Structure 1
Amino acid sequence: MTSAQVKPAVAARMPTTRRYLMCAPEYFTVEYSINPWMDPTKPVDKALALAQWTALHDTYVELGHKVETIEPQPGLPDMVFAANSGTVIDGRVLGAQFRAPQRAAEADFYRRWFVENGYHDVVMPTNINEAEGDLAWTGRFLLAGTGFRTDPGAHAEAQEILGVPVVSLRLTDPRYYHLDTALFVLNEDEPNVAYYPAAFSAGSLRVLRRLFPDAVIATAEDAECFGLNGVSDGRNVVLPIEATGLAAQLTERGYEPVFVDISELRKAGGGPKCCTMEIRG
């Protein structure tokens, strides 16, 4: 092998222990449609959804992360998607305000969980804000999505309440209605992300290219199986089992893909990240 054929060594990636909040899908079903993935006419296997959620929960524990749980509530089938109900940075909690009335009640249950667990700096937004569904912390600044759910005004509110810089991004494909269906943070040291370009406006795409010139670029196939709804601890990346193309790219970058099956949860437009709120501080 010539020197020109030798690939540069990939630096060893170090995982960091995370703390997550999750909600079991005890009342999970698809009884209404608030995104293009939801079809109430298609049956949902609740037992399988619970088994898949449990496997995701156990995967985090096996990776060394701490997982807290909140009690699911009857009548709130989407409460399993914990990421939509809070953004926590340095112990400050910015709650949620949902666009869809069917999910509105979820926000206060999560607010109460934080208060009951010793968080005193909890602020509920005045603008529509679907939390980590549209807010992604990079370690240096907050990427904030808008276009379908979270209002643009929530971005400025997040900056004021959380005290971190915010970069706004516009989503344009209704299938990728939350930022966390089109982009996720791989690590917070560099930082770097993986994203699906076709989900963003032209201007937002230029911003992403400027901020992350070495980003992992996902294919349409990766996006359609919710591969961009992944969860990374800086080394281990939890992905849907179908996201094989994305996994191959990540492996080349020194990450370790960890596959989970989220087929039932995907019927409501959710994946690993949707089920996982990260508590920072």
Structure 2
Amino acid sequence: MKQRLITGIIAGIVFLGFCFLGGLPYHILVLAMALIGYYEFVRMTQVPSFGGIAMLGYLGILMFMFPWSLLDIPFPLQWEHAIWLLLFLFMLVTVLTKNRVGIQQAAMLFLGVLYVGMGFSYLADSRSTSDGHGLFWTFLLLASIWSSDAGAYFVGKWIGSHKLWPAISPNKTIEGALGGVVIAMLTSCVFSFLSSGVLPLGRALLIGLACAVAGQLGDLIQSAYKRVYGIKDSGTLLPGHGGILDRCDSWIIVFPFVHIAMLLPY
């Protein structure tokens, strides 16, 4: 527990410090997190971490995470065209290797590029929203996710008796999940009261709800994936916490979701 607490404090200070800086330093940090996260995904999928098809995945992450707008460089393709070309290349690998790389491996690594690359790209882009309040929005989402996690844990320990999804995550309870939703919505309301009109109360409630529900689903997704491959943590980068994906599994679902739901400016 002591190691977990120390690691969490140091990692939190570093991340929030870069978040305050914003701009290119923050984007580069998130890019590094995305590359490490994809490395963990590849290892969990039991594919050589730096084999040919994995390298194609790292290039896909760079495509999503390159700071195009910060460097005022237009992306050379429409995004749906770029995603299709990436899909084509992954499938082509199965042909060129005469199925030594199977379609299942190619499909999983392509899925990983979308899961990790898009998730972290929204995390990076949320810091530089068009309304100039990117730091506020980023902190709002992070605080709502963290408070949902804390609420779910403590309420579950206190009154949790009905298992939420024991086949995937045996310690989670329905009472804890609902407690996480309530705490996240209360947290977003606090941000609304302190926002000087930037965040209306109704939108704050919706954002808190979205962060709690999508965040808990993101955690379950990662738990289900790890259970398939029989592993406890995605990596060992953060002692006491596991890997990047273990710590950011909720983030890379929540940040895209709230943008797609049009709850934040882009």
TM-score when normalising by structure 1: 0.28
| Higher relative strand content | 1
If each structure's helix is expressed as a fraction of its own residues, which one has the higher value?
A: 2
TM-score, normalisation: structure 2: 0.29
